[in-house]
Amino acid sequence: MLQATRKWLVLTAGVVMQACLGAVYAWSVYVPSLQADYGWTAGAAQLVFGLSIAIFTVSTLFAGRLFERIGYRLVALLGALLFAAGYLLAASGGGGFGRTLLGIGVVSGVGTGFGYLAVLSVAVCWFPRNKGLVTGIAVAGFGGGAILLAERVPRLLAAGNTVPDVFGMIGLGYGITTCICALLIFSPPSDGTVPRLVPAVNGWWPLRERVFWVLASGIFCGTFAGLLVVGNLKPIGISGGLSASLAASAIGFFAAGNAVGRLLWGWVYDRVGYRALPLSLLFLALTVSLLLAWRDSALHFWLASWLCGIGFGACFVLYAAHVAAFYGIPGLRRVYPLLFLFYGFSGITGPTFGGALFDMTGSYVIPVILSVAMLSAGAGLCWNEPVKGAGFRGGKRLEPCPTGGRLA
């Protein structure tokens, strides 16, 4: 009974923590104010967002190693503290580019990576027989984390608060919440009640496997397009004739679709397997193209944003689920962080390219076309499933999910 209660408590706390960490996806709600009040360019604004994604992914490499030393709970707690510290540092910068880049782009990015991977890994350890669905549930909160901010931030700004004021509120409120959630993270039992027969995965040899590079191309192309859209979503709406408030509302629709997509595609993966990966990229290509056809209608723009969110959400459940299925559960902490680096590359390139192309052309048509092209290329590269078993080297062995000692 205690173990059954704990596993649902872990999953619930994980979803709440992910929702707070997902605040990064509300970034575009700040962009018009940063440009108007502090003189930021679109490229500079997207550099902060892109760097936060890149640092987020790089930090998962270190998080995966820390699990085995100090356990999931302490890694999650460290992530919560760094996440809060980053926003508070940005709040102290008075809207300046330097402290915002360091606080949200670097410090908070590290905290996000630690917390994200801790929650994802421990959830799959507790529910090893439902990798796709549980992966979707565990990260659905991250995808939907921008919903509340998309609704509240415009009101706070309209009431006279500055962007640094809002950063401070997030740092305090979300910081306390994530710390509480981290303390509710428990490692699964080591008494055999959770199966742990997995392939041995050590070192850097996955980089020599075709399956790794197929998955890497898919996650890069998918997240490049998705991040280009979400990082510029509010400005895209404003450039098309919507008011700032209506354009900001689209962020909430994107976030809602992102959360739904993570659940939906997890369910799809459990039924059709690998084929869900290229299909999700084609779906996202179709929905991103709708951003060019919404014709000044808020309803159409919201619908297109919601559908884009559903497609984007696939990138954060399908690849994790396939890594867990292909390499075993330890692959989530050893192989998935390597794969996740390509999400970081797209974080630097996608939003920044979108902002820079707008600065040069005054339109978001070219960035959207670029996104569709990237998605189509990714679907083509991922269409044929890599040979099964290519990554299973070193035999199989029993390997428990790390407990990190008494504090885990």
Distance CA 142, CA 317 (A): 11
Instruction: From residue 283, give the alpha-carbon distance in Å to each of 33, 137, 144, 315.
Output: 32, 21, 19, 12
Residue 404 lies in a domain: no
What pLDDT, on the 0 to 100 scale, is given for residue 120?
Answer: 83
More reliable by pLDDT, 149 or 306: 306
Q: Is there a domain that residue 397 lies in?
A: no
Q: Report pTM.
A: 0.73
- Whole-number pLDDT of residue 105: 93
Signed CA dihedral, 260, 112, 222, 51: sign only? positive
Give the bridge partners for 398, in sequence order.
197
Q: How many Å apart are CA 313 and CA 16, to the nearest integer?
A: 17
User: What does the block give as tokens for 371?
Assistant: 């996104």
Q: pLDDT of 188-238, one tens digit each?
A: 766 544 444 344 445 556 677 788 899 999 999 999 998 888 878 888 888
Residues 334-355 have a mean pLDDT of 82
Q: Is residue 198 part of a domain?
A: yes
Three-state SS string over 15-51 comes to HHHHHHHHHHHHHHHCHHHHHHHHCCCHHHHHHHHHH
> What CATH number is given to the structural domain containing 186?
1.20.1250.20
**Domain, as residue range, for 327:** 2-392
Is 90 exceeded by the pLDDT of residue 285?
Answer: yes
Angle between helices 244-272 and 276-289 (to 10 degrees): 160
Residues facing 397 on adjacent strands: 198
Query: How is residue 109 written in tokens?
Result: 């990015």
Q: Which residue has the tokens 């979707």?
A: 136
Can you say whether the dihedral through the CA atoms of 294, 300, 301, 307 is positive or negative? negative
pLDDT band with cut points at 50, 70 and 90 for residue 386: low
- Taking the C-alpha atoms of 8, 9, 12 and 14 in order, what is their torsion angle to the nearest 10 degrees? -110
The rounded distance, in Å, linking the Cα atoms of 123 and 352 is: 33
Residue 305 is assigned to a structural domain of this protein: yes
388 contacts: CB under 8 Å, gap ≥ 6: 326
Q: The tokens 């962009």 sit on which residue?
A: 31
pLDDT in tens, 79-122: 999 999 999 999 998 999 999 999 999 999 999 999 988 888 88
Strand partners, 396: 199
Find the range with the poorest average confidence among 144-148, 189-193, 236-240, 347-351.
189-193
**Do residues 390 and 208 lie in contact, with contact meaning Cβ atoms separated by under 8 Å?**
no
First to last CA, the chain: 19
405: in domain: no
Rounded (5°) CA angle 90-94-99? 40
Total number of domains constituting the chain: 1
CB 307 within 8 A of CB 121: no
SS3 state at 394: coil
So what's the pLDDT on residue 2? 64
Q: Which of 82, 75, 74, 79 is nearest to 107 (CA)?
A: 82
What pLDDT does residue 74 have?
Answer: 93
* Tokens found for residue 63: 């998080």
Inside any domain, residue 408: no
What pLDDT, on a 0 to 100 scale, did the predictor assign at position 324?
A: 77
